[in-house]
Amino acid sequence: MSRMVKKRVAPKAKPAEAAGAKRALPTSLRRNAPLVPVDSAGGQALAAVIAILTFLAALCAGGAELVATSSAQWRSDIAREVTIQVRPNAQRSIDADVERAVSLARQTTGVESALPFSKQESERLLEPWLGTGLDFNDLPVPRLIVIKLAQEVRPDFTKLRQSLKDQVPGATLDDHALWVSRLSTMANTIIAVGVVLVGLVLVAAGLAVTFATRGAMAGNREVVDVLHFVGANDDFIAREFQRRFFKLGLKGSAAGAGVAMVLTTILGIVSQSWRASPTGDQIEALFGSFSISWRGYGVVVLIALVVALVTGIVSRLTVRRFLNGNG
């Protein structure tokens, strides 16, 4: 009887056969192997695409922040300055009219200083348009008075305009409100364009992740079927894809944001070295010191995190849709 039982017991597998069976297992199912391999050529390509998109988004955000800072500085400088223009009159002394306009301006509450331009200084302002070496004696060149305003009190321009109209005929006051409005419109338009471009970059990143996730699901269909067979639900599979793609997106976005910040720092150093040259003066007049503040760097870091989050969330949604559509 005991001999019959021994014959029915299945023989043990040989060590060589066990090793062969272990080698036959798919790589994705081996111990400590990730469910979603992202170190492949496709994963590296997706990381490079995310890095490029993040770099472009960071440049757009940095440019918008630079324009916003420069615009605020421009508007602050222009808002604190008004000008009075005194036109020459054959029946009146222009020097006396200038002195009277300066006196009226200095008597106005909220005026910090009033600086009249001399005849030579006023003529020099026309040289960029008319050229040098011209005789301005026969031309009715107006005289300018630059008024600096105090920060605490806003002067009554209506009263000052009326006083100039009554006592200094031919004098006009310009508070630069039109220029401030145009600068605000231009700056807001550029900032809006930057925000739209950042949004388009995020959409492009989401589309790239969608196609990459579909490719990963198609390449790991057998693994997904086995996981369903052993009892894994769709949430577990979606979390695995989300975790792996989030790490991949964080890697790519960090690289793109880092390159953008390094490039911005280099450009700031170069602009500092050009400050003493005419080109540097023009660049500084348009863009300030050409360096973004800590707020700008914070925006770049935030964009990198948002790109990584978009990568993870889009991959999870794509996986759930794929699983629901394929039963």
| Whole-angstrom distance, CA of residue 183 vs CA of residue 73 | 11
Residue 12 in this model has a pLDDT that exceeds 60: no
Residue 72 in this model has a pLDDT that exceeds 70: yes
Three-state secondary structure call for residue 146: strand
Q: What is the pTM of this model?
A: 0.64
Domain membership of residue 55 as a residue range: 38-75+181-325
Percent of all residues in the chain with a pLDDT value above 70, rounded to a whole number: 76
The answer to whether residues 229 and 105 belong to one domain is no
Digit-coded pLDDT (tens) for 149-179: 887 777 778 888 888 888 888 888 888 778 7
The answer to whether residues 150 and 50 belong to one domain is no
Three-state secondary structure call for residue 86: strand
Digit-coded pLDDT (tens) for 216-247: 777 777 777 777 777 777 788 788 778 888 88
The answer to whether residues 242 and 286 belong to one domain is yes
> Which tokens hold the place of 57?
């988004």
pLDDT of residue 55: 92
The answer to whether residues 48 and 92 belong to one domain is no
Domain containing residue 146: CATH number: 3.30.70
pLDDT of residue 282: 61
pLDDT of residue 95: 84
The answer to whether residues 222 and 290 belong to one domain is yes
| Whole-angstrom distance, CA of residue 131 vs CA of residue 143 | 19
The answer to whether residues 118 and 251 belong to one domain is no
Residue of higher predicted confidence among 224 and 58: 58
Q: Kindly list the strands in the beta sheet with 111-116, ordered across the sheet, starting from the edge strand earlier in the chain.
A: 111-116, 143-149, 81-86, 171-174
The answer to whether residues 113 and 236 belong to one domain is no
The answer to whether residues 43 and 165 belong to one domain is no
